Amino acid sequence: MLNVLEHIVLGIVQGLTEFLPISSTGHLVIFGKWFGLREAGLLFDTMLHFGTLLAVIVYYWQEVRYILTHPLGKLTRLLVVGTIPTGVIGLAFEDFFDTISQSGQTIGVEFIATGVIIWAVESMRQGKRTFADINYTDALIIGTLQGVAILPAISRSGLTITGALLRGLDRSDAARFSFLLSMPAILGASLLQTKKLLDHPIDSTALMPMLAGTLCAALAGYVAIRWMVKIISTGSMKGFAYYVWVLGIGIVTIQILGYW
């Protein structure tokens, strides 16, 4: 069982890396391998996802309120269309993704690929389409990229933001749609995990440490969203590309030397 500090560390890591284009799953694999943190368990993993979902809801509360009051509105329909390919890919290749994630053998290459995608798109001319210009084709393409990002070290936010930029969206609106599209994906994954939890007994003594970790995930996630929106609106994501390149090359080197 994880101790309180480990719950908090994993919560902060999950919250920060979920919304920065550096892959949350990839970092959790690294923390498990390199720092000896034991597996968090299905319940805590589910709670961490709810924590990051809460961060998006709080930051984009106006949009969430609009969705709740206009369930058949354009934004809701766009999110539904964008979520369909994500769900299809996730369900169709669930076992495959789980196997890859558990072994961690491909995360070095995936980190490098994430960096290449971010750097390449940032080097291109940026579009000026606004949030109101997003159409169903945009949503379908970005949602498909979100599904591909189920691979452990391919960043979900990195792929969806760069996908939105490639579709010509304004930088801040690209981030906005990316984070809003994460809500149904995170909620869907959490609900699937909750269904699996029905077959597992819950250790009541671990609930308080889990709640602490979940709160940290929510707070760190909110900070990460604010930071990411500021970076993409006024600066460049290339710094994240350099970071995941160094990380990926380091992992590949360690694997070649046989220390993974």
Q: What is the pLDDT of residues 97-117, one digit of tens each?
A: 878 877 788 999 999 999 999
Q: What is the pLDDT of residue 119?
A: 97
- Specify the number of domains making up the chain: 1
CB 122 within 8 A of CB 237: yes
Q: What is the pLDDT of residues 44-67, one digit of tens each?
A: 888 899 999 999 999 999 999 999
Q: Is the predicted pLDDT of residue 205 greater than 80, yes or no?
A: no
For residue 19, the enclosing domain spans: 4-256
CB 38 within 8 A of CB 20: no
3-state secondary structure of 129: strand
The whole model's pTM is what? 0.92
